[in-house]
Structure 1
Amino acid sequence: MYAVAPEPYEHLESAKHLLDGLRLAGVGVWRWKVDSDFLLWTDNLTEVHGAPASRYDATLDSFKRDVHPDDLDDVWRAISISVQTGEPYSFIYRTNPKVTDQVRWIETRGGLVLDENGEKWLTGACMDVTTRVRAEMQLTRRLRQQRALEELGSFALGEESLQAVADRAVRVAADVLEVPLAKILQLTNSGEELVLLSGIGWRRGSEGHEHVSNNASTMAGFTLQEGRPVIVSNLALETRFSGPQLLHDHCVISGMSTVIAGSDERPFGVFSVYATTARAFDPADAEFLNALAHIVANSARQIAATEHRMLLVREMAHRAGNMLQLVNTLAHRTFTPNHDLAKAHRIFAERLGSLSRSNFLIAKGGWTMTQFASLAREVLEPFRDRVDMRGRDVLLPPELCFDLGLILHELSTNAVKYGTLKNVEGAVELSWRIERDAEAKEYFLMEWSDALSKGMEPCTQTRGTGFGSKLISLLVEQKWGGMTCTDSENGYRFSCRVPLNNTEPARNSLGGQAA
C-alpha cells in the first residue's frame, strides 16, 4: 500500500512556512501600495537592514530613511521606472549608517502586481549581499592595483630620472587608493630628518623644503623604526606618535606609510598616503603601498648604479693621480732624516693600510655619498671593541670620507702610542653629527675623546707638532675650509667642523701635494 503524496505546494501555501523559509534565508519581503505612503513588510526586513524593529511604522518614509542618502535617488528612480513600465526591477543599495548598525549592501528584486481589486502594488524581496559585494569590490580593487603596479614598473624600468619615478608613484598611489594626499620622504644625508621628495595634494612649493624629524615621535620616524607598514585610523586619537604640523594643516584624519628600502642597510625614505575623512585602510592597501615603495626603491638603486658606473670611470682617472701624489707626500713627510728607518717604515705601512681600507670602502660604493659610520668601523676595525662610536647614519662626500679615514687613523695611532689604546682596558669615544646653522648651512662635526692621552705628541702643548697633527690640520682647515679644536686639560679631546654645502675641496693643500 502506497502513501498518497500531498498536493503540490500544499505546505508552502502556509504563510508561516513561507516566512520561516524567508527568515532563515535572510530574505525580507515588502509590498508598497503605489501612489500612497502605505508600506508593508515582513518582520525580518528590519533585521536584514540591520535596523531596530521599532523602525517599522508602515510608511514609505520609514523605508526611505533606511537607505543611504547617496543611494536614495538611484533607488527611487529604479522604482519609478518599474511603476511606469511594469518591468521588473533589480538594484543594490547601501543602508543608512545613521540608522543601521553598520553600512550593509542590500539587493532587492521585484516588480508591479495587481490585487483582486485591480490596485497596483510594487512588491519585492531584499537580502543582505554585503559579503558578496565587498568580495567583488576587493577583487576589482586588487585587479586595478595590479594593473597600476605593472604600468609603474614598466615606466620605472626605462626612466633615468628618479624624480620622474617618484612623481608618477605618488600620483598612482593617490589615484588607486582614492586619497587626496600622498608623498615620498627621502632620508637626508644627516640621517636626522626626512625631506619631501615628491607629493600630491600638498601646498605648492613643499617639495624639497618640508622637513620631518626621523625620531619615533613622528609617523615617518615611527615607520622607519618599525620597518613595516603603519596604518593610522584617526590621527587625533593616535598614541604611538604625533603627526607633524604639515598633516594637521591639511586636516589629515587617516593615513598609511611604509619604508622605502635603500641600497644597503640605510633606508631611502618613507612612502605615505593620507585621507581627510575616516578611512579603514586594510592589509591589501598596505601590500599595494609596499609594492609601490619597492618599485621606487628599485628605481633608485638602478639609477644610482648607472650614475656610479659613470662616476667611477671619471673618478678612477682622477683618483689614480691624486693617490700617487698623496702617497708621495706621506712618504716625504714620514721618511725624514731625523726618523729611525725601521720606525718610519712601520708608520708608512700603517698609513698606507689606512689609505687602502678607506679607498676600498669608498670605491666599493662607486665613489658616491658614503656612510661615515661604515667608514669609521672599517678604519678602526683593529680597535672595534675599544672605540665607543655614537652618531647618526650620515652620508658624506666620498673624498671627505677618504680624508676623514686618514684623520681617524692618526687619532687611533696616537691613542695606541700615548693614550687609552696603549693599555689593556678602557675605550676612546668617537661621536659625530650634522648641524645646520641659522642660514641653513650644514656642517659635519666629529669629536674624538681619549681620557688617558695628552695630545698628538707626548708633550704638554695643546696641539701636537708631529706630522699626524699637521696632516689633520692641512686636511680639515686648508683642504676643506673647516676648523679643528683640541683640548688636553682632561685627557685629549679633538673636534673638527667641516662645511658641507660646498663639497669641493681646495687643491694643492698638502704642502704643495694635491690630495
Structure 2
Amino acid sequence: MPAGARTETGGELHSRLRQQQLLSAFGREALRRSELDDLLQEAARIAANGLGTNLSKVLQHIPDEGALKIVAGVGWRPGVIGVVRFGTDLESPAGFALRTGAPVISNHLGDEGRFRTPKLMVEHGVRRAVNVLIRGEAGAPPFGVLEVDSRDPREDFSESDVDFLQALANVVGLAIDRDRDRRDRELLTREAHHRVKNSLQIAQTLLRLQLREVEDPEARLQLEQAARRIMTIGAVHERLFSGPAIGQVAVGTYLHGLVEDLRNSLGVGEGSRPLELELSATAEMAVWDGDRVTTLGLVVTELVTNAFKYGRDRVLIRLEIAALDGAGTLVVEDGGDGPPAGYDQVRGRGLGMRIMATLLRGGELVPQWPAGGRFRFVATLPPAASGASA
C-alpha cells in the first residue's frame, strides 16, 4: 500500500475515533443538562468540532410560519441565532432534509443544480454543507435539522460524517422527547394544583356563607378557623405552580402573603394590635416543598389565631432556618399571659393544638414566658429531607 494511502487511512481512523469520543461526551452531557437551549447550543458546537469546521447550526421547524429558524449555532455573525429563518421547500438543503427525512450532502454549493444557496451562507462564504434530520419519538413531527457548513472547498463531507452527524442528531432527539415529556408533566401538575386551589376557594366561600346563618359564637369561631385553615392550604397550592419550580415554594414570599391574608381575615392592621413578620436571611431565601410549607403555614395560622384570641398587644412572627439542614425555629409572640404554667399543649383538648401536635411530628411546640410581660410559642420544624433546599 502506498505511504500516502496509509497516512490518509490513519487520519481517517483518527477522525472517526475523535467523533466517537465527542458523541460519548455529548451523551453524558445530554443526561446531565436540563435546559434544552443549552443542549442545542452544545450540539452545534460538537457538530462543528467533529467535522473540523467552525460553522454549524440547529434549525427548528416552525410549522405555522412554514420556516426553519436558527435556534443555536456557532460561527455566525451577531443577530443570526434566534432570528434568521430558511424556507422549507425542496430547493433548500435544510428544507429537503426536513421534507424527505434523508440526509443531504452538498460539497459544491456554488455548482449545485439541486439547491439554491441561502443568502446567509453566501455572506459567510459557505462552500459545502451537510444536513440531517432531528427527529424524536416515532409518529411525532420532526424537530428540525442539524447542519454543518464549511468554507473550505478542498475536503468533501463523507458518508461517515453523515453517520456521525445523524448519531448526534438522534441524541438531540431523545433530549427533546425528554424535555417535551417534562413540560407535559409540568402542565398537568400545574392544572392539578390550579383545580385544587379553586376547590379550596369554593369550600372557603361556602364556609363564609354558612357563617351568615350561624348565631352561636362558638360555632362561628370554629367556622372562621376552618375557613382560615383552608385559606392557608389554598395559598400553598397557588404558589406551587407559580414558584421557582413545580412543587417548590419560596418560603419568604409565601409567609409575606400569608401574613397579609391573616391580617384581612382577622381584621387586624397597624393599630393597637399589629401583626408583624421577621425572617432571617436564610428563611427569606429558602425554598421548601409543598408539604413542608403547608405544615409551616398551618402552624403559623393556628398560633396567630390563638395570639389574637387570647393575647394582647403586638403579635410577632419570627422564623429562622438553619443553613446546613433546613431545620426551622418558628416563634409567635404576643403580650398575653399564655396558657397556665404546666399546660400540656400536646394533650390539650383544643382542635388547633391537636392539629399542631400532629403536624410537628419530629419537632416540638414549647410555650415560654420570657421576662418583659410577653408570651411566646416556639415551634421547632424538623430538618429538610435529604436533597431539599433550605
Structure showing greater relative contact order (alpha-carbon pairs closer than 8 Å, 6 or more residues apart): 2
* TM-score for the superposition, normalised by structure 1: 0.37
Max radius of gyration: which structure?
1
Decide which structure has greater helix share: 2
